[in-house]
Amino acid sequence: MLSVQILWHMHQPYYVDPLSRVAMMPWVRMHAVKGYLDMIETVREHPGVKVTFNLTPVLVKQILDFNAGVITDLWLEWTEAPAADLNHEQKKNILLNFFKINWDNLIAPNPRFHELLVKRGYDLMHVNVDSLARSFLIQDFLDLQVWFNLAWCGFSAFQIYPELGALKEKGRDFTEDDKAVVVGIHRKIMQELLPRYKDLYDKGQIEIATTPFFHPILPLLHDTDIAQRAMPWVKLPRRFSHPADAVGQVEWAIAQHAEVFGRKPKGLWPSEGSVAPELIPGWVELGLEWFATDEDILFRSLANQSNNGIGRTDLYDVYEAEYGGSKIAALFRDRSLSDFIGFSASKNPGDKASEFIIGHLQGIASATKDHPQPMAGIILDGENAWEHFPDGGELFLNSWYGRLASQTDFKLETPSEFFAQNPKRKTLSQLHSGSWIHANFDIWIGDAEENQAWEWLGETRKFLESKSEMIEDEKWALALMEIYAAEGSDWFWWYGPDFTTDNDLVFDQLFRTHLLNVYRLCGEPPPEKYYLPICRKTAAESLVMPIGLIHPKLDGEQTHFFEWHEAGIYRVTQGRGPMFQGERIIKQIYFGFDLDHLHLRIDAQNSWKLAKQMELLISFSGVEEKKLVVRLPIGGLKTVAHWKNGSQAAFDKLSLQKVLEISVPLDDLGWKPKEKVKFGVEVLQDGAQTERHPDSGFIELDVPDASYESVTWRV
């Protein structure tokens, strides 16, 4: 019978300046009152379900320190300040930050919250915050303080604390007492959170795994030159090699876990699933019994040690990794199922999404029925997906857990249970060095900003070593903690072009603050350069609008350079979020007009030679909505398309070879010149949406008229 292991990874970077003891961002608290509480309470409601939670030590530390009053939360200070007493800077910060929440699901359904967003303005590039801070009334600020903290509360918080529902029903004209109720509940949830997890851990319904303390990329701590194994082309920074730090980060994690949960962890999710064979002996020596990483690490490991064919079902065998005589069990992540939950389940009805996953697990069970003991690992972020569900994921999680508990084709287990019962495993003697993203380390090293951060970290680490005989033990321990904090992966995640956020400069400042503090603790002035930001560029623009009419030839090829030169382009980037989605089909979408047609060109990430049947659903919206269904071929079949919920006649104005090209008559869409229209593209597999572009909203356009080219003319 197929054994299914579900691992939810929960992590927040170290937002705290250890010298000032102020958390610069509130996301530990906000995710606690939403996802962290919802996740443990939903499991509690399904006693037949077993899952594993990976609570990173740096997250746990911030919860403990907040509860003990050791640290303060800057955004909570802005919240608790009486609205009538707010100074100008506090008002500006509230207007800039208290709309950082999912607008579609958590602002738009709440009229007063949405009213305040409209008053503030959607686009901060066109907002004069100084003027707005003076124009917002005291009641506006009070309502905003309440709504931001209230809207972040998850469905479990509303069930446990009915007074939250009463405040939501009230909706506006809140009082300082109302605000105190919300803040008080936030504090209660924070106090009760870790005991809730420990309770189910003690009862055996969940397992809790760990991660290196400050969430570093362990192979790069061991030796940054390891990055070249999977990235031989990359330009690396000056070598950083501190194997003792790679061990120490795990050792600290195990010690904290034992103190908080009353036992040592058995399992490790190495930060970002990053592994290298040299790390295995240290893990085994520290008493760890299993680790988890991505499927691509497995497939590349198998390729390293064998010329035999590798099949998809190899993912579901039982493995251990070996190096230097040490062996440790390994759990590999089923990427497609994990990514579906993290990125696409929210775009489908909850019961439909759960049915999709159950169907795929049944397929895996059937395909592996002849394996001695098949296992499947579903591993993903357990916090960031839920604000994208209209109901916070309540329907999906309850539907999925309910179905899982009633299955007879497979069973839910924790990794430690499974590995204890299955000592017979296949050995990986040449574990691939990489992470769960592209099986390499490109996100964290190789870009100019990332390399500069590594070099400054290396300089500071070397400086601290030079002071080891000169400073007292207490300051040495604090300085080493600053080094460990700066080694965290999160700073490098936001450096470079891969990801961006409104808070890039805050993350940059926090990273440099950890380095600066090492010098301060050692009683020496820091290098002046550490006061200068490392961030110096933004991510490539993902959406560029058309600059002229186009007249492409529908042949499924880029016929010549200028064919799509004046079209708009939407590039599928990782964009602004904290999560990475692999396995995307679409790379970019070109779009543009002639006076009679909308022309689309859709490029695949690799090629349009697909391994399985899927469809594109292209939604057009103007005066009326229309949807075009494009069935993508496998095995040389012809690409076919038809209008959904209307004429089922074949739509033949398309061609697929290297690229997919489509021309849609404006008359068929009912679009008129100068009309504002929009479109979006979805990928469907087995009727469920697996990706969408844009991720939310639509690409918006103005239909051209005869004067279009004279208006957009350029040299």
pLDDT band at 714 (very low <50, low <70, confident <90, very high): very low
* Digit-coded pLDDT (tens) for 439-475: 999 999 999 999 999 999 999 999 999 998 888 989 9
Helices (H) and strands (E) in the chain, counts: 25, 25
Q: Are 553 and 559 in contact (CB under 8 A)?
A: yes
Beta bridge partners of 377: 5, 333
End-to-end CA distance of the chain: 67
Amino acid 183 reads V
Distance CA 521, CA 531 (A): 16
Amino acid 497 reads P
* Digit-coded pLDDT (tens) for 272-314: 999 999 999 999 999 999 999 999 999 999 999 987 889 999 9
Residue 713 has pLDDT above 70, yes or no: no
Residue 122 has pLDDT above 90, yes or no: no
Q: Are 62 and 17 in contact (CB under 8 A)?
A: no
Q: Are 690 and 667 in contact (CB under 8 A)?
A: no
* Digit-coded pLDDT (tens) for 402-423: 999 998 989 999 999 999 999 9
8-state DSSP, 633: P
* Digit-coded pLDDT (tens) for 467-513: 988 889 899 999 999 999 999 999 999 888 766 676 778 889 899 99
Sorted by where each begins, the domain ranges of the chain are 10-203, 231-428, 448-531, 543-712
CB atoms within 10 A of CB 261: 18
Percent of the chain with pLDDT over 70: 94
* Digit-coded pLDDT (tens) for 309-340: 899 999 999 999 999 999 999 999 999 999 99
pLDDT confidence of residue 635: 63
CB atoms within 10 A of CB 44: 16
Residue 539 has pLDDT above 70, yes or no: no
CB atoms within 10 A of CB 568: 18
Distance CA 250, CA 245 (A): 9
pLDDT band at 691 (very low <50, low <70, confident <90, very high): confident
Mean pLDDT of 84-106: 95
Cα 510 → chain centroid:
20
pLDDT confidence of residue 611: 64
Q: Which CATH architecture has domain 231-428?
A: Alpha-Beta Barrel (3.20)
* Digit-coded pLDDT (tens) for 375-388: 999 999 999 999 99
Distance CA 66, CA 69 (A): 5
Cα 315 → chain centroid:
23
Host H or E run for residue 544: strand 543-544
Burial of 121-159, coded b for 16+ CB within 10 Å and e otherwise, reads eeeeeeeeeeebbeebeeebbbbbbbbbbbbbbbbbbbe
DSSP output for 223-256: -GGGGGGT-TT----S----HHHHHHHHHHHHHH
Q: Are 300 and 432 in contact (CB under 8 A)?
A: yes
Distance CA 493, CA 477 (A): 26
From residue 706, give the alpha-carbon distance in Å to each of 171, 595, 663, 671, 709: 49, 7, 19, 14, 8
CB atoms within 10 A of CB 328: 22
Calculate ∠ Cα 54-57-62, nearest 5°. 120
Radius of gyration of the chain (CA): 27
pLDDT confidence of residue 576: 43
- Verdict on whether the full-model pTM lies above 0.85: no
Note if the bond before 694 is cis, omega within 30 degrees. Answer: yes
pLDDT confidence of residue 558: 77
Q: Are 210 and 265 in contact (CB under 8 A)?
A: yes
Q: Which CATH architecture has domain 543-712?
A: Sandwich (2.60)
Strand pairing category for 206-209 and 22-23: unpaired
Average pLDDT, the chain: 91
Distance CA 405, CA 261 (A): 26
The answer for residues whose C-beta is within 8 angstroms of residue 224's C-beta and 6 or more apart is 236, 237, 239, 240, 241, 445, 454
**Who has greater pLDDT, 711 or 305?**
305
Q: Are 510 and 463 in contact (CB under 8 A)?
A: no
Mean pLDDT of 687-707: 79
Q: Are 179 and 172 in contact (CB under 8 A)?
A: no
Measured torsion, CA atoms of residues 459, 460, 462, 467, in degrees rounded to the nearest 10: 140
User: Which long-range contacts (C-beta less than 8 Å, at least 24 apart) are formed by 44-49?
Assistant: 44/196, 44/200, 44/205, 45/398, 45/401, 46/398, 46/401, 46/402, 46/404, 46/405, 47/205, 48/404, 48/405, 48/406, 48/412, 49/205, 49/401, 49/404, 49/405, 49/412
